Amino acid sequence: MSEDCDHADPTIKTEAAAQAEARSAEAAAIRRRWITLGEALAVVAVVISALTLWNSWSERADTEATNRAEAQRASARAQTLVLTATRSSERMLALKPVSADQSVQAQSISFPKALGLAPVQTTGEPRVEAGWFADALKKARDNAGMPDDSRGDERLPVAITTQFLADGRTHEDIAIYDVGYTIAGRLLGGHTVALRGVSLVSHAKSGGAQATLDARWAKLLPSR
């Protein structure tokens, strides 16, 4: 009996050792899986954090880019001058910017060379007066063989150089405008020029404004 027990003990011990080893291996595998899962979760957390940071930076960058673009557009609008006119009388047009954010400081109004007129300067009260050019215009119309009385509105091109304030800064604009007018004969008073309004033709460069003005004059009032 004793010999049988002695013979069985090694087998039992071997099986027990094998089971213990298997349990140990399984426990080690479980620990490795947990370590691997933990590492994966850590990586995921880092990735999420990085994506969140990038998204926040991207949104901020987009917002800043949008704000810069809007500021540039606003600045461009502020520097682009368009004048409009209201009739103070038939002999004078009061000029003002279309934009309320602009304020005219001074202007120089040039006429076609064919009229033989010097530029007119204004300060603080932008305007066009018929008396500046009426006699020269009537003479030019007569030389061109145009009718004494106009039919509808006629156009006199002028170059207007304007110094104006916008966004607290001084800017300069040079543009060609058509001054609308009518001319009619009176029995005792001769012909009278009545002003109607102004219309923007184009913006111009400083060196080429007079040539552009003269070309438009030749188009509107060709010589006979």
Helix (H, G, I), strand (E, B) or coil at 144: coil
Using one digit for the tens of pLDDT, what is the confidence trace for 34-56?
Answer: 656 667 677 778 888 888 888 87
Identity at 35, one-letter amino acid code: I
Q: Which has more confidence, 137 or 147?
A: 137
The Cα–Cα gap between 12 and 106 comes to 113
Rounded to an integer, the average pLDDT of 116-138 is 95
Distances (CA, A) of 202 to 52, 160, 161, 189, 212: 50, 11, 12, 36, 9
Residue 20 structure tokens:
């213990």
The Cα–Cα gap between 23 and 16 comes to 10
How much is the pLDDT for 52? 85
Q: Which of 174, 88, 159 is nearest to 125 (CA)?
A: 88
The Cα–Cα gap between 22 and 28 comes to 10
Using one digit for the tens of pLDDT, what is the confidence trace for 171-224?
Answer: 999 999 999 999 987 645 578 899 999 999 999 998 899 999 999 999 998 765
Which residues, 6 or more positions from 186, have their beta carbon under 8 angstroms from its beta carbon?
192
Which residues, 6 or more positions from 24, have their beta carbon under 8 angstroms from its beta carbon?
none
Q: Which has more confidence, 19 or 213?
A: 213
Backbone angles phi, psi at 160, to 5 degrees: -115, 120
